[in-house]
Amino acid sequence: MEPSSEEWFARAQNVIPGGVSSPVRAFRSVGGTPRYVAHAHGSRITDTEGREYVDLVGAWGPMILGHAHPGVVAQVTRAVAASASFGAPCPPEVELAEEIARRVAPAERVRFTSSGTEAVMTALRLARAKTGRDVVVKFAGCYHGHADSLLVAAGSGVATLGLPDSPGVTPGTAQDTLVLPYGDVAALEELFAARGSEIACVITEAVPANMGVVPPPLGFNARLASITREHGALLILDEVMTGFRMSAAGWWGIEGATEGWQPDLFTYGKVIGGGMPLAAVAGPAATMDLLAPAGPVYQAGTLSGNPVATTAGLATLRLCTPQVYAHLDATAGAVRRIITEALTRHGVIHQAPQAGNLFSFFFTATPVRTYDDARTQNTSAFAAFFHSMLDGGVWLPPSAYEAWFVSAAHTDDDLAVIESAAHSAAAAAAKV
Ligand SMILES: *Cc1c(COP(=O)(O)O)cnc(C)c1O
Rounded mean pLDDT of the chain?
A: 95
pLDDT grade for 159, boundaries at 50, 70 and 90: very low
Per-residue pLDDT averaged across 218-225, rounded? Answer: 98
Q: Please list the active-site residues.
A: 143, 238, 270
Query: For residue 201, is pLDDT > 50?
Result: yes
Q: How far is the CA of 321 from the centre of ligand 1 (A)?
A: 24
State residue 156's pLDDT score. 33
Per-residue pLDDT averaged across 90-110, rounded? Answer: 98
Strands (E), 61-198: 109-113, 135-139, 160-161, 177-180
Q: Is 208 in the pocket of ligand 1 (CB under 6 A)?
A: no
Ligand 1 pocket, mutate which of 213, 240, 246, 405 (most atoms under 8 A from CB): 240
For residue 427, which phi and psi values (nearest 5 degrees)? -65, -40
Q: For 386-423, how does the pLDDT look when each residue is reduced to its tens digit (9 = 90+)? A: 999 999 999 999 999 999 999 999 999 999 999 999 99
Strands (E), 239-305: 265-268, 279-283
Q: Going by CA atoms, what residue is nearest to atom 6 of ligand 1?
A: 116
Is residue 230 within 8 Å of 221, Cβ to Cβ? Answer: no
State residue 153's pLDDT score. 60
Per-residue pLDDT averaged across 55-76, rounded? Answer: 98
pLDDT grade for 347, boundaries at 50, 70 and 90: very high
State residue 155's pLDDT score. 37
Q: Is the pTM of this model over 0.85?
A: yes
Is residue 385 within 8 Å of 391, Cβ to Cβ? Answer: no
Q: What CA–CA distances, in Å, run from 108 to 100, 166, 167, 243, 316?
A: 9, 35, 38, 16, 21
Ligand 1 pocket, mutate which of 237, 241, 304 (most atoms under 8 A from CB): 241
Q: How far is the CA of 341 from the centre of ligand 1 (A)?
A: 31
Interstrand relation of 177-180 and 52-55 (parallel, antiparallel or unpaired): unpaired
Residue 266 CA to residue 105 CA, distance in Å, equals 11
Per-residue pLDDT averaged across 290-314, rounded? Answer: 98
Q: Is 269 in the pocket of ligand 1 (CB under 6 A)?
A: yes
Query: For residue 164, is pLDDT > 90?
Result: no
State residue 169's pLDDT score. 83
Ligand 1 pocket, mutate which of 20, 21, 117 (most atoms under 8 A from CB): 117
Q: For 240-265, how does the pLDDT look when each residue is reduced to its tens digit (9 = 90+)? A: 999 999 999 999 999 999 999 999 99
State residue 160's pLDDT score. 41
What's the number of CA atoms in the CB half-sphere (13 Å) around residue 16? 12
Q: How far is the CA of 394 from the centre of ligand 1 (A)?
A: 24
State residue 163's pLDDT score. 53
Crossing angle for the helix pair 322-345 and 412-430, to the nearest 10 degrees: 30
Q: How far is the CA of 246 from the centre of ligand 1 (A)?
A: 16
pLDDT grade for 166, boundaries at 50, 70 and 90: confident
pLDDT grade for 157, boundaries at 50, 70 and 90: very low
For residue 316, which phi and psi values (nearest 5 degrees)? -65, -50
